[in-house]
Amino acid sequence: MEKVLISQSQNSRTYAVKINENMVQIIEEFWQPGSSFCTFFNSKIILREEYEALKKLFEGDKNERSYRK
């Protein structure tokens, strides 16, 4: 499995783990200052379709319809 560090601070770390060609898991780990182990974590699986939609939001796609309320 490929693992990519997205961001890191003094008491947290966020990274992505490639599960397969169409799925990535985003993991956030948090720990208390001075502690050497994770005290809380959050996880989200992103599918390729979700990634493509997010990419359009970040990069813009003039050919796609925008849904605004």
Rounded to two decimals, the pTM is 0.73
Residues in Cβ contact with 13 at an 8 Å cutoff, skipping those fewer than 6 apart: 5, 7, 28, 29
Q: Using alpha carbons only, give the angle 8, 46, 58 rounded to the nearest 5 degrees.
A: 75
Q: Where are the domains of the chain?
A: 3-59
Q: How many CB atoms lie within 10 A of CB 47?
A: 12
Phi/psi of residue 18, nearest 5 degrees: -80, 120
11 is written with which tokens?
A: 């008491």
The predicted pLDDT at position 66 comes to 60
12-51 pLDDT, tens digit per residue, is 999 999 999 999 999 999 998 888 788 899 999 999 999 9
> At 65, is the pLDDT very low, low, confident or very high (cuts 50, 70, 90)?
low
